[in-house]
Amino acid sequence: MPFSSILHRVGLAACILLIVSCFMPWTYYADLHIPIDQRTFTGLKSYNNYYGRPGKFLIIIGVVSFVLMLWPKILAKIINILIATIGMVYAIITFRRFTLSYLDHYPEIKIGIIIMLLSSILILVGTAFPNIKIDQNKKN
C-alpha cells in the first residue's frame, strides 16, 4: 500500500475524529460562580456561551474536508488544502482560547480538545498527500 494512500485514509479518519471530538468534554472549570452541571465545556457548549460554539465551524470543516478528500479532482484537492489550513489555524486559536484562564481560574484540560487539535493537524497532513492517480497517457 503506497504511503500517500495510508495518509489519505488517516486524513479521512481524522475528519470523523474531529467531528466526534466537538461533542466530547474539552475543559473543566472549577469556578464557584458556574453551576456544577455547566462547568464542563465542549465545542458546542460553554457557560453563558462565553467562548461561543467553535464546534459548529470545526464540524463544517470536517465534513467539507471529508467530501473533498473523496472527490477525485485536482481542484478539489487544492481547495481542501486551503480548507484544512484554515481549520488547523482555527483549531490552534480555539485550543489556546479554551485552555487559558477564565476569570482567574485555570481549566482542567480534557481529552476532547487534545483530539480536536491533533485531528485538525492530521487532516492537513492527509490533504497534503492526496490519493489521486494521474493518467500520463492522456492527451490534452
pTM of the model: 0.88
**Which DSSP helix (H) or strand (E) runs through 36?**
none
pLDDT in tens, the chain (140 residues): 788 788 989 999 999 999 999 999 999 988 778 888 888 889 998 888 888 899 999 999 999 999 999 998 889 999 999 999 999 999 999 999 989 876 777 889 999 999 999 999 999 999 988 877 767 776 55
Domain segments of the chain as ranges: 3-29+59-128
Task: Please give the biggest Cα pair distance in the chain.
Answer: 70
Grid look-up 492527509 returns: 126
Q: For helices 74-99 and 54-70, give the axis angle rounded to 10 degrees.
A: 160
Secondary structure of residue 39 in the 3-state scheme: coil
